[in-house]
Amino acid sequence: MKLYVCWNVKRGPLGHPCGNAYHALRQAGHDPEVIKSYGLRILPDRFNRTEGRREAKRLTNSKTVPVLVTGEGEIVSDSKRIVAWAREHPAGAGPGASATAETQLSDSF
């Protein structure tokens, strides 16, 4: 599992999208490989030449991060979608475990 982020996986008072995605995955029991993709999405491609930004664009046709690549190869972009994916796919959970994980995660966001 890989998580492409800008550079920030910290939580702040307003919540940074990359940090929200990272912490949702961690709270769901996942340990993603974090790939820092420095740059800014508002800049032209020629200024976003880091490997992470290039890969994000290759995967999603957008240089915006965060982008999650699951162990099964599923691509999930947008922090809210990644948070939802984490709630629906807790690590090591069997059938019926998703609701429990969702309750635990919803208290954090």
> At residue 10, does pLDDT exceed 80?
yes
Using 50, 70 and 90 to split pLDDT, how confident is the model at 12?
low
Number of domains in the chain: 1
Tell me the residue range of the domain where 96 lies: 2-106
Mean pLDDT within 29-51:
86
CA gap 35, 52 in Å, rounded: 6
Q: Is the pTM of this model over 0.85?
A: no
The CATH number assigned to the domain holding 56 equals: 3.40.30.10
11 half-sphere exposure, CB direction, 13 A CA radius = 8
Identify whether the C-beta of residue 57 lies closer than 8 Å to the C-beta of residue 25: no
Identify whether the C-beta of residue 83 lies closer than 8 Å to the C-beta of residue 94: no
Identify whether the C-beta of residue 4 lies closer than 8 Å to the C-beta of residue 26: no
